[in-house]
Structure formats: C-alpha cells, structure tokens
Structure 1
Amino acid sequence: MITPPSPSAAEHADGSSVRLGALVPLTRPGWVEAGRHLLAGLDLAVHEVNEAGGIDGRPLELLVRDTAADPERAAAAVDELAGLGVAAVVGEYHSVVARAAAARADALGVPFLCSSAVLDGLTEEPTEWVARLAPAQSRGWRIFADFLLSEGRHRIAVATQPSVYWASGTRVLRDHLAPHGGTVVELDANALAPEALCDALVEHNAAALLLLVGTPEPAVPIVRAVRGDRRLAELLIGAPAGQPEFAAWASALGEDGAGIPFLRYLPEHLGPLGERVAKELRERLGGAPSFVAFEGWDTVTVLASVLRSRGTDRPGIAGSWPRVAVEGTRGPIRFSRTPGIGVWQWTWAPLHVADRDPAAPDRFRVRHTG
C-alpha cells in the first residue's frame, strides 16, 4: 500500500518545471567513466522530452548530484532532492550506493527508478517506491557461470575486494557452478600483489580468473601481470561486472585488455530506436556509448511516459510501475515482481557475454547469450 509522502512534490515545486533528481558517480572513487555515460543518456533523453513539448507543456529539469560511490552521500542527496520537490529520483551505477539511495527513497516516499545497479537485495524489504532497469545480479552472473562451463572452465579463481556486491556475485557463481562440478577459490586482491596473485593461480591450477575488483586499480595491474606470466598463458580472464566495456580499459591495456569476457546489458543487435539514440550518444560522448548510456536514456524515457500519463504526484508515479509499457533502446520495457527481488524489476532486460576482439580491440564480440 502506497501512503502519501510528506512533504509532497507539488508543495515544493515552483511550477515552472518538472524536476527529476539524478544520482551519478562523477568523481573518484566512483567509476567516473560509467557516471559520464549514465549522465549523457539521462541528459539526452531530457533534451528530447523537452524538444517534444516537455511534460504537458512544462520542461523536464534534471538536478544532478555526484555520489562519488559513497552510500552516505547518496542518501543525503535523496534527502536534499526530496526537499527540492523532485517528482522522482533516477540513476546510480554502484550497487551499494543505489541500495542506500533506495532505502532513503523508500523511507521518504520518493519514487526511485534505478538505472544501472544490479544487486538483488536493493532493498531490505519489498517496496512499491523503487523500480529498476538493470537485470538482477543473480540472473546475469548465472549466465556468466553458464558461459564458463560452456568454455570448459570449472576451476575458477576470483580476485576480490571486500564489498557486498562482490560477495554476492561470488556466492551466485559458487552456487551455480557447484552442481556442475565447478569450484570457486577466493583470492584477496588487497592482500596479494599482482605477482603473488599469479603464483596463487598456478598453485590452485585455476582455469579462469574473474576480476571482482575496482578499475583501474587493482584490475589493470592484475591483467598486466597475468598476461605477462607464461605459466598462465591458457588462463581465461573474465570481468563479469563490465570493466572492459569502457574506452579507458582499452586505453590502459591495449591488446592485453582484449579477450576478457564481461556481461553487457544490450541485445545482440540494436533496433532502429537504439541505433538512432546510439548515434546521438556517440556525438555527445565523442566515442562509442556503453550500455550504461542506454540505461540512462531508457530511464528518463520511462519516467516521462509515466509523468505524462499519471502526473507528477509521487504516489501516482510509484503506483504506475506495474503499468509501464515503454519502447526503450534495448526493447520493450515492463516491470514485474521477480521472486527474491524486493523492487519492481525489468525482469528480461537483454544481456549477453561479450569481449573485445583481440584482432580489433575497439570491436566487441558476442561470446554467449542467456
């Protein structure tokens, strides 16, 4: 049951625009490149909504707040944005940060449409106030585990750092691989220098190493060390969280960064709408848009549809999640209740396992589809 928030958006808005709050990691230690792509998608969609007449003649305004990958900062931003009269909050890339934002939005009665974060437990309890576009981690990482099995990789090592997100991903992998004879050994990337980590991979006879770590540090030095170790010439390096998607990865690693599979939240081929938006995003970004940029565009497009049909009333927006039917850049978007997920979820958001082609590192190859 949705109860009216206090204060309401209408009591704070000045009437000249419809405000959306946007949470984006724009400074370190946040993943700045992901934040830049997310914001580009959000901004482009806002521009297009306003070019088409806005929300019943009122312009859509984006109030951007930098989370810098800090959960407390994100929660404080939701408080601030609620006080500024936003109709809803959108965005965020980092799962742990989005979880803090979702908890605060739920407590305040502010709709939150999460763009990119995948952690299954985005909220402690089921809520009507939060919806999510990105596929749940449990679905994506099970598909990645299936890819590993299809490649004959059963002895898996994960280089990991302390994080609810990495721990959750490791658990998904272990649970899915175990019935097929797969094993997962955890290597502490904070305690092991890259060379020592290579020694551990040899000791455990690992067939694959998954990078459950931040980028560029320590991911880039680890890749360099593994690629330079002849003992590990047959080792598959993987990065399910998507580090190789971004141009900075290719710039830092060159050929060493190719052939590293990751989860990519895109269909195998974009349709006409996706191609059109991709062209616009490329011009804004000065390079190829990542799947995160498409998530940003889809986020605002979904909310614009809701705002036009249900108005700017916060309970009305939240009550509209199950009625959403919007054509996004990556397919038709609808939200439903998914077992084990406490928020409204685009359950069948497209995804596949891809890597950068060793023959042309600026080109992506599809390695596995779920």
Structure 2
Amino acid sequence: MTTQPSPPGAERTDGSSVQIGALVPLTRPGWVEAGQHLLAGLELAVREVNDAGGIVGRPLELVVRDTAADPQRAAAAVDDLARLGVTVAGEYHSVVARSAAARADALGLPFLCSSAVLDAPTEQPTQWVARLSPPQSRGWQVYADYLLTAGHSRIAVAAQPSVYWAAGTRILRDHLAPRGSTVTELDMSAFDATAICDATAVCDELVDNRATALLLLVGHPEPAVSIVKSVRRDQRLAEIMIGAPAGQPEFAEWATLLGDDSAAVPFLRYLPERLTPVGVRVETALREQLAAAPSFVAFEGYDTVTVLADLLRSNGADRARTAESWPRVAVEGTRGQIRFSRVPGISVWQWAGTPIQVVDRDPAEPDSFRILHAG
C-alpha cells in the first residue's frame, strides 16, 4: 500500500495502518530514475510484508514525499512526517539526506537512510539515524584502489561545487597521493561543457595535465553527458579512461543518451557478486515491476523496508525503542545479513558489511555489466 505524494498534513492516521514515511527524488532536478528504482524497492517490500500479514495484523503503508533533490524540501518533509508520527526512510542524494538526517536527529525521529553516503550525515553522533549504504570514504577508497590496480597515476576530476563532490575529491587525493598518484581538479563552474569552446578547453586541460583518467564528479545528465561526448571525440584523448564513481552509468538513461559511448565508464555499485536467495527472488520481482534490470538502488529500497518492518513488529511506533534497537537488528536482506554498528568517523548507525563493486558497461554489450574490482 502506497500513499503517493500529497500536500503536507493531508493524510489521516486513524490507526488502521502502520506507516513509513519515504523520502524519494521523483522530479527534477532530482535524479528521477534513481528515485523510481528506490521507490520500486520500497513498494515491493511493502506489498510482500502485507501479503505475509502486515505488521502484527495491520497493513503497512508508505507515505511518499518527493524531495526533488532539495535539502530544504526534505527537511520540511521530515517535519511533516514527524507530525504524522511515522518512521522515516529513503533518500538517494547525499546532501539531501544530510538535511533530512539532521532534522530527524533534532526531532528525535528514527530515520533509516537507504542510499546516501556522506560520512557524517549529522554533525554529532546520533542514536536516531541508521544507514544501509556504505560511507563515502570506504566506497571511494575502493574506487581509488581500482585506479591504482588499473595503472592510473595521473587522475583528473571534473568537479562541480558541492559538499559531496568536494568530499569525494578529498578522499581520492588522500588515498592516492601517498601511493605516488596525482589528483588534479578541474573546476567545472568555470566551464559550460555543452559549449564547443568550453568543451575544447576541458580537453586541452586534460592533455596539458597528461591525465590517464578523468573522473566525472558532476551532475547527470548534464554536464556529465556532454563531457563524455567531448572527450570521446577528441583523438588526443583516445587512451584516457573516463570514470564516474557516483554511479551515473548504472541507469538506463545513461545508455540511452550516450549509446556506444556509455560503455567502459567504471562506477561504484553496492551489490555482491552473488545475491542472497532473498535477493534472487526480489531481483525477478523488481525486473517485472520496472520492466528493466533493477539497479542496486532498488535493492537498497527493498532492504530498507525489510529492516523497518522487523523493527515495527518488535517496537510498534515507539520512537525511542526503535532507536535503541538499531544495534539489535539482524535481518537477511537481498545483499547479505544486515547488522548495524558504530564505525569510527561515522556519525550514524552503519551497516558495515555493505558490498562494494567497481563495474562498467561492457563495450561488447552495453546492457551488461562487468565487475572490475571488489572491496
């Protein structure tokens, strides 16, 4: 059962259902395809919980709020959901999730973050927030290790201004510099990648820096798509590797917009080499629901509801008991057993066992993915 986005305060809570508030980017400038996959996973898990009898006999219901990748909108949605007395889940964009997490912490509202990765979603350690996706430092260090094993020592990053992109650049530089690699930042705020002259200037900088790898720390579809097209058609850069650690190539829109140029762009994906038996079954159901291969984000959505349903069966709507129960979670998810712990440097309860892969689209078959590295 899903309540689609509606004006704040429109829902009525008469005790007939148990509700989970879902924060999802469903409109631009949010990454809509990621939001759709996240919501598909959330919805599938809710249906399965209800088919199995609900939460102690009561149906589970999603109350969906579209964040549109807007941190202020997300914080307002958390306020609204707190008035409804529901636990909060979801969100894909890291900066948006940070805003939601800070507000949930201030209100004393349990929030299970599905996908965002910033190491510190809250300024101080909190008991109210837990997270399924790995911290950015862990995932991007795995990506840096891949760059080293692939022989790249001169890395350029095309970066837009953002806390998330800045953190990514810092993680890469801190991990690669002691190993003899350089990381050169190209400030994309100074360029219009869709303009021919500016695209040429970006390519000139890559040539001047003798970069062997270019990482896209920019928005999708633009300017990421335009940068890829410009670099691919510049013969001086025929040997350069283009990478996208944040996962832009995961979704079908990437392949649609770039065609053959969509392949061989390594990115981070949070899946194991083999899904659990639960994951195999869920993959089939998600593929039917989405009419496409499910991304790792869809599995994150499913696992989110699986965890919260387990907590709701044990604790009901009691916020304090739910927050106290994060360290006691032991749930079989689609990608492994989910347990939360305190991880040094991370301000929230963290699933420390999240699987991490570096993958790309196969040039011989762009709809298929190759696993290049795991960590």
TM-score normalized by the length of structure 1? 0.96
Secondary structure of residue in 2 paired with 1:118: coil
Q: Which amino acid aligns with 2:299?
A: F
Return the letter of the residue paired with 1:162. Answer: P
Unaligned runs of 5+ in 1: 1-11
**Partners of 2:259 and 2:284 in 1: CA distance:** 25
Q: How does 1:228-267 map to 2 (within 5 A)?
A: 228-267=233-272
State the partner residue of 1:298. Answer: 303
More deviation in 37-46 or 308-317? 308-317
Match of 2:276 among 271, 280, 292: 271
Amino acid at match of 1:31: W
Q: What is the rounded CA distance, in whole Å, between the counterparts of 1:339 and 1:52 in structure 2?
A: 38
Kindly indicate whether residue 232 of structure 2 is the aligned counterpart of residue 227 of structure 1: yes
The match for 1:143 is: 142
Which residue in 2 is equivalent to 1:7? Answer: none
**In angstroms, what is the RMSD of aligned CA positions?**
0.8
Q: How far apart are residue 13 of structure 1 and its match?
A: 4.1
How far did residue 84 of structure 1 move? Answer: 1.4
1:107: which partner in 2? 106
Deviation at 1:273, TM superposition (A): 1.3
Alignment partner of 1:355 is 2:360: yes
Residue of structure 2 in register with 1:37 after alignment = 37
Q: Is the 8 A contact 2:276 2:333 kept in 1?
A: no
Asked if 1:174 corresponds to 2:150, the answer is no
Residues in 2 aligned to 1:55 and 1:272: alpha-carbon distance in whole angstroms: 23
Deviation at 1:77, TM superposition (A): 0.2
Per the alignment, residue 216 of structure 1 pairs with 221
Matched, 1:123 2:128: no
1:284 paired with 2:283, answer no
1:341 — aligned with what?
346
Give the share of equivalent positions with the same residue, in percent: 73
Q: Which residue of 1 aligns with 2:80?
A: 80
CA separation in 2, counterparts of 1:326 and 1:261? 31
More displaced stretch, 304-313 vs 145-154: 304-313
SS in 1 for 2:272: coil
Count of aligned pairs:
358
- Any idea what SS the aligned residue of 2:156 has? strand
* Structure 2 counterpart SS, 1:190: helix
Shift of 1:311: 1.9
> Is residue 69 from structure 1 mapped to residue 74 from structure 2 by the alignment?
no
The residue that corresponds to 1:98 in the other structure is: 97
Query: How far 1:196 moved relative to its partner?
Result: 1.3
List, as ranges, runs of 4+ consecutive aligned residues in structure 1 with deviation greater than 4 Å: none
Q: Identify the residue that residue 9 of structure 1 maps to in structure 2.
A: none
5+ residue gaps, structure 2, are 1-11, 192-197
> Are residues 1:369 and 2:374 paired?
yes
TM-score between the two structures when normalised by the length of structure 2: 0.94
Moved more, 187-196 or 281-290: 187-196
Amino acid at match of 2:174: D
Residue deviations 1:208-230 (CA, integer Å, cap 9, x gap): 00000001100000000111011
